[in-house]
Structures are given as C-alpha cells and as structure tokens.
Amino acid sequence: MNEDKSQPGIDSTPSPEELRMRVAATREELGETVEALAAKADVKARAQEKTTAVKQQVTEKTAQVGAQLRDKATSAAHAVQERTPEPVRAKAAAAGGQVRDKAVHVAELARDKAPEPVLEKAGQGMRAARANRVPLLAVGVIVALLMVRRSRRNR
C-alpha cells in the first residue's frame, strides 16, 4: 500500500507552509482577543463613552420637554383666549397697550440713568424674554385675566 503524501490526511505531517498559515491565523485570533480584553479593561474610555451617551440622551430629552412645554403654553393661551369674552379681551388689550407704553417710557428713563453693567444685564434679560415669547405671552394673558376678574369682584 502506497500512501499519497501530497494530500493532507489524518496521519500526514503538515507542510511548513501549512504550519506558517496556522501560526499566522492563531496570531491574528490572539491579537483580536487581546484587543477585546484591552477594550474591556479600559475603564476610562468606557466611562467616557457612557458619559457621552447620557449627555446625548439628556440633550434630546430636554429638547423634547421644551417643545412639549411650548406647545402646552400655546394651547393654554389659545384656550384662555377662546373662553374669554370679547369685552374682557378688549380691556386686556387696552391694558396691555398701556403697560407697553409705560414700559417703553420707564425703559427710556432707565437707559438714560442706569450704569453700564446694569444696562448689560437688562439686555441679557430682554434677549431671554424674546427667546421665550410664547410662555411669557401666556403668563401675561393669565395675569391680565386675573386682574380683570379681580376688578369685577371689587365693583
């Protein structure tokens, strides 16, 4: 019985080239395993990844809640406006105009007499108010309604 040594079998000895390929494959697998273990052992990098993920979640949730609040404030303002009788709305609009005129007058006086740091802080406040107009308008409408109701009760 003559055995053919060119085909690898169970009893055949691997060729040097085949051994080299096995060693290279084993080295590659070992390198991947070491990299995976190093990644698991890098607590600082894992903590930073988790922190980044949590920050992103908080940012998304904050934007979502802000949008919900704006929507609710808008719908509340519309509901109050729809339920308010026309004469009350007219009085509230007139009162709002008077308040606006007084505010402009007071602002001019304050601008003329206030020191620079106070003016700077006031400017920051105005920018914040402009950025949040809908909630401020809703609060203004509610305050105007409360003032009108209170004046009616005092009659």
* pLDDT, tens only, 106-140: 878 867 887 888 778 878 888 888 888 788 777 88
Phi, then psi, of 73 in degrees rounded to 5: -65, -40
CB atoms within 10 A of CB 141: 19
Q: DSSP class of residue 14?
A: P
Q: What is the pLDDT of residue 109?
A: 82
Tokens of 154: 């005092």
pLDDT in tens, 50-67: 899 988 998 898 889 888
Q: Give, to the nearest 10 degrees, the angle between helix 16-41 and helix 43-83.
A: 50
| 0.85 exceeded by pTM | no
Q: Give, to the nearest 10 degrees, the angle between helix 86-113 and helix 133-153.
A: 120
